[in-house]
């Protein structure tokens, strides 16, 4: 069950009435002799497709796991060596950039270097 509904409902967006309609239509088109074998074949094929998709997904995850781990380690190493210690303290809200400049002279102009 996914999110309270059935798996078929979540994947194919089919409600109970739609499934019943498809079964009745299949019964009319295929007949009562062939319908069970066709449903079994469809179910087996669907199961195989799900297994293949799950295997592919696991392969992709395992294939990308090691490179992602290496990239994370490299990024952590760069943070520590290239940037030094990271300052986690917040900056003051209004840092005065003028604090580093020499005080202006008496005439109101800044002192020249």
- Per-residue model confidence (pLDDT) at position 52: 93
86 in a structural domain: no
98 in a structural domain: no
Distance of alpha carbon 86 from alpha carbon 72, whole angstroms: 17
38 in a structural domain: yes
pTM here is: 0.43
Both tokens of 8, joined, read 């078929």
Q: Residues 4-46: pLDDT tens digits?
A: 555 655 566 778 888 888 888 888 888 888 888 988 998 899 8
Contact 27, 35 (CB under 8 A): yes
11 in a structural domain: yes
Residue with tokens 């009745």: 24
42 in a structural domain: yes
106 in a structural domain: no
32 in a structural domain: yes
Dihedrals φ, ψ of 96, to 5°?
-80, 115
- State the residue range of the domain holding 11: 7-81
Contact 102, 110 (CB under 8 A): yes
As for how many domains the chain has, the answer is: 1
For the chain, list the strands marked E by DSSP: none
Contact 47, 54 (CB under 8 A): no
72 in a structural domain: yes
């Amino acid at each position: 069950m996914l999110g309270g509904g059935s798996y078929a409902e979540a994947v194919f967006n089919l409600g109970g009435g739609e499934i019943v309609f498809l079964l009745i239509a299949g019964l009319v088109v295929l007949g009562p002799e062939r319908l069970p074998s066709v449903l079994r074949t469809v179910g087996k094929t669907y199961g195989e497709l799900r297994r293949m998709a799950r295997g592919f997904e696991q392969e992709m995850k395992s294939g990308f796991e090691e490179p992602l781990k290496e990239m994370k380690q490299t990024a952590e190493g760069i943070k520590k060596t290239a940037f030094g210690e990271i300052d986690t303290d917040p900056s003051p809200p209004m840092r005065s950039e003028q604090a580093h400049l020499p005080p202006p002279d008496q005439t109101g102009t800044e002192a020249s270097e």
